[in-house]
Amino acid sequence: MGRLFGTDGVRGLANGDLTPELALSVAVAAARVLVESDGSHQPLAIVGRDPRASGEMLEAAVVAGLTSAGANVVRVGVLPTPAVAFLVAQTNADLGVMLSASHNPMPDNGIKLFAAGGAKLPDELEARIEQAVEDGHGLVGRPTGAGIGRVHDLLDGAEHYVKHLVTSTPHSLAGIKVVVDCANGAASEVGPTAYEEAGAEVIAIHAEPDGLNINEDCGSTHLDKVQERVVAEGADLGLAHDGDADRCLAVTASGEIVDGDQIMAILALAMRDAGTLTEDTLVATVMSNLGLRIAMKQSGIRLVETKVGDRYVLEELNGNGLALGGEQSGHIVMPAYATTGDGVLTGLHLMAQLAASGKSLADLAAVVHKLPQVLINVKVGDREAGAAAPAVLAAVGKAEQELGESGRVLLRPSGTEPLVRVMVEAGTEEQAREVAERIADEVRTASPV
């Protein structure tokens, strides 16, 4: 078996790489590894999903696996990933399972796991679950009779989650008009509801999931639709979520994109001024633009850097008691209110700063002067080989010498797809693109599809 867990759980083509049999095995292994039962109670698991059609099939397999391992299961239906994490904590569940492939196309799906308290799993626990799946230990010694888990449905989970979100919002959103692209995903109902209850005037688009249209030319990976609609409606801003709503990107009233780096900067400054930015520190990943680093330094805010993945941002935040972190892609983590990245929470707090300051999103985002950045996702046959080939590393070294301190190169294999990501920042877009294309060509040669 190859590496089972990627950057964010188990992900693959539903009923291809990610079969019901695999989902059942992962569920059994997760129950065995994550639950330290003393026999005084049956473990409790929360299971949610995004609206993609294959989630119905995989949910059935996961529920079967958990109950066969002796865990009681509460199904919460279609909800954002952060809502499932929230409900794990609220119900004192022993573990949580979210079925989603996030921003991936509809045919894909994934399994995200949460430990007690709603926290994502550290590498060590994922490795133990992966080993248990490979060894097949979960297939023996299962309970029988009254020891088999039971299944219940939670019908008001969305209401509890929305109330939590709105209560966290530091300022009324009255007077703000927002267009929200829900990606035909898990936030299609709770996103617009939360924004409206916080006081905003909401125009929701791509909020009619049918199981097949999730992320299809919409959401945080296709911002052109929300850009057009914001301008057409004369809205103050636009927000875009991904399929499981753990991301939030924004656009200004004129349709300019505001990415996760800029959103983090806006929130960091607001929290610093409010005295809630612990140690005046922001946590970001290596993918964040140099412009964010410069802006934070000029504002007296320390920037701590992690590997790519909101789980690593979370580890840094939780390990040091910090209050804000995230990724350029729009995963923003605010541990005071959520145990994982939460797109709707991010949207609420971003709009609260607009309302409190009276400034436009464009004015607030201008604190970050982004260096031109080019990201090329290179399809490869072997992502590890494509990233580590000698010719590729030589090309990277040459590029770094050329750029000096005025730019940088970041090369990394994707944790979820057969891709090598080549990112280059430079003084001009032309230079960044030329360098990135040169390195990407070496990657393609080193590991052809």
How confident is the model at residue 140, as a pLDDT? 65
**398 and 319 fall within a common domain:** no
Residue 423 lies in a domain: yes
CATH code assigned at 140:
3.40.120.10
User: Which residue among 138, 155, 172 closes a domain?
Assistant: 155
The reply to whether 307 and 426 lie within a common domain is no
Per-residue model confidence as pLDDT tens for the chain (449 residues): 457 887 778 999 999 999 999 999 999 999 988 886 555 678 999 999 999 999 999 999 999 999 999 999 999 999 999 999 999 999 999 999 999 999 999 999 999 999 999 998 888 888 899 998 988 765 567 899 999 999 999 999 999 999 999 999 999 999 999 999 999 999 999 999 999 999 999 999 999 999 999 999 999 999 999 999 999 999 999 999 999 999 999 999 999 999 999 999 999 999 999 999 999 999 999 889 988 998 999 999 999 999 888 888 999 999 999 999 999 999 999 999 999 999 999 999 999 999 999 999 999 999 999 899 899 999 999 988 889 999 999 999 999 999 987 788 999 898 778 999 999 999 899 999 999 999 999 999 999 98
Which of these, 431, 231, 195, 421, lies nearest to 328 by C-alpha position? 421
Same domain, 185 and 140: no
Q: Which residues pair with 77 in a beta bridge?
A: 48
The pLDDT value given to residue 310: 81
Whether the CB-CB separation of 302 and 324 falls below 8 Å is answered with no
Q: Which of 176, 183, 187 is nearest to 237 (CA)?
A: 176
- 79 and 144 share one domain: yes
Token pair 């990233």 in the structure block, residue: 387
> What is the tens place of the pLDDT at every residue in 194-245?
999 999 999 999 999 999 999 999 999 999 999 999 999 999 999 999 999 9
The pLDDT assigned to 299 comes to: 96
CA distances (Å), origin 208, targets 3, 189, 213, 221: 35, 9, 9, 17
Is the residue at 1 inside a domain? Answer: no
- Which among 101, 133, 155 is the end of a domain? 155
Residues 336 and 407 in one domain: no
Q: Is residue 5 a part of any domain in this protein?
A: no
Q: Contact 92/116 with Cβ under 8 angstroms? A: yes
The angle, 0 to 180 degrees and rounded to 10, between the axes of the packed helices 157-168 and 343-357 is: 30
Please give the pLDDT value at position 1. Answer: 47
The 3-state DSSP class for residue 154 equals coil
Active site residue 172: no
- CA-CA-CA-CA dihedral for 86, 323, 246, 58, to nearest 10: -50
Catalytic residue among 25, 54, 100, 102: 102
3-class secondary structure, 430: helix
**Same domain flag for 327 and 378:** no
The total domain count for the chain is 3
- Select from 45, 17, 263, 34 the least CA-distant residue to 154: 45
Same domain, 348 and 377: no
Q: Are both 116 and 241 inside the same structural domain?
A: no
Binding-site residue ranges: 102, 242, 244, 246
In a domain, 436, yes or no: yes
Residues 148 and 252 in one domain: no
Residue 354 sits in the same domain as residue 378: no
H helix or E strand, kind and range, residue 95 = strand 95-99
Structure-block tokens of residue 154:
């939670």
Backbone angles phi, psi at 251, to 5 degrees: -135, 150
Q: What is the DSSP string of 103-119?
A: TS-TTEEEEEEEETTSP
Give domain status of residue 3, yes or no. no
Q: Where among 312, 334, 365 does a domain terminate?
A: 365
Q: What is the CATH number of the domain that holds 386?
A: 3.30.310.50
**Binding site members for Mg(2+):** 102, 242, 244, 246
195 and 223 fall within a common domain: yes
Beta-bridge partners for 419: 379
Same structural domain, 190 and 330: yes
Q: Give the tens place of pLDDT for each residue, 265-305.
A: 999 999 999 999 999 999 999 889 988 998 999 999 999 99
Q: Which domain holds residue 68?
A: 10-155
Q: Is residue 2 part of a domain?
A: no
Contact status, residue 85 vs residue 46, Cβ threshold 8 Å: no
Q: Give Rg (Cα) of the chain.
A: 22
The confidence score (pLDDT) of residue 405 equals 76
